[in-house]
């Protein structure tokens, strides 16, 4: 999936959980979910559920642990989409 489009979609998915508006507005590949967006770590599982739903993919526990930044999320989503 094209990078810009994917970032835009990720942005919509994480929006309900973010607690730092400024970091959200400047969201880029390098943005960290917890450190930058201040997403409560408990909500990361909700982000993943939403990702699964939107992209119709299944994210395993091992992938989940890695998914702490926009970059990591993009890599995993692309990988899963390619394997479909």
Partner 1 sequence: MKHRVVITGMGVVAPNGVGLVQFTNAIKNGISGISFHQNLKDLDFSCCIGGVPLVSEEKKLQYFTPLQLRGFNSSGILYGCMAGIDAWKDAGLSFSSESKLDYDSGTIFGTGTSGVEKFREAIYKIDNKEVKRLGSTVVLQTMTSGVSAFLGGMLGLGNQVSTNSSACTTGTEAIILGFDRIQMGKAKRMLVGSCSDDGPYIWGGFDAMRVMTYKHNDSPQEGSRPMSHSASGFVPGSGAGAFILESLESALERKANIYAEVLGGALNSGGQREGGSMTAPNEEAVVRCIKEAIRSAGIPPDAIDTINGHLTATSKDGLEIKNWTKALDRKGINFPYINSLKGMVGHCLTAAGSIESVATVLQLKEQFIFPNINCEEVHPEILSLISEEKIPKKLLKTKVTIAAKASFGFGDVNGCVILKKYSP
Contacting residues toward partner 1, per CB under 8 A? 16-17, 42-43, 45-46, 49
Of the candidates 80, 84, 71, the one whose C-alpha atom is nearest the C-alpha of residue 3 is 71
Secondary structure class of 5 (helix, strand, coil) = helix
CB of 19 to partner 1, least distance (A): 8
CB of 38 to partner 1, least distance (A): 11
Question: What are the backbone dihedrals phi and psi of residue 35, each rounded to the nearest 5 degrees, phi first?
Answer: -70, -45
In the complex with partner 1, the residue whose CB is nearer, 1 or 49, is 49
In the complex with partner 1, the residue whose CB is nearer, 30 or 40, is 40
Question: What is the distance between the alpha carbons of residues 21 and 23, in angstroms, rounded to a whole number?
Answer: 6
Q: Which residue has the tokens 């999320």?
A: 73
In the complex with partner 1, the residue whose CB is nearer, 32 or 46, is 46
């Amino acid at each position: 999936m094209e990078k810009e489009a994917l970032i835009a979609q990720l942005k919509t998915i994480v929006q309900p959980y973010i607690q730092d508006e400024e970091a959200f507005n400047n969201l880029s590949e390098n943005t960290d979910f917890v450190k930058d967006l201040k997403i409560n770590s408990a909500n990361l599982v909700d982000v993943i559920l939403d990702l699964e739903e939107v992209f119709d993919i299944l994210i395993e526990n091992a992938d989940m642990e890695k998914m702490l930044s926009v970059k990591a999320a993009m890599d995993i989503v692309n990988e899963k989409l390619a394997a479909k």
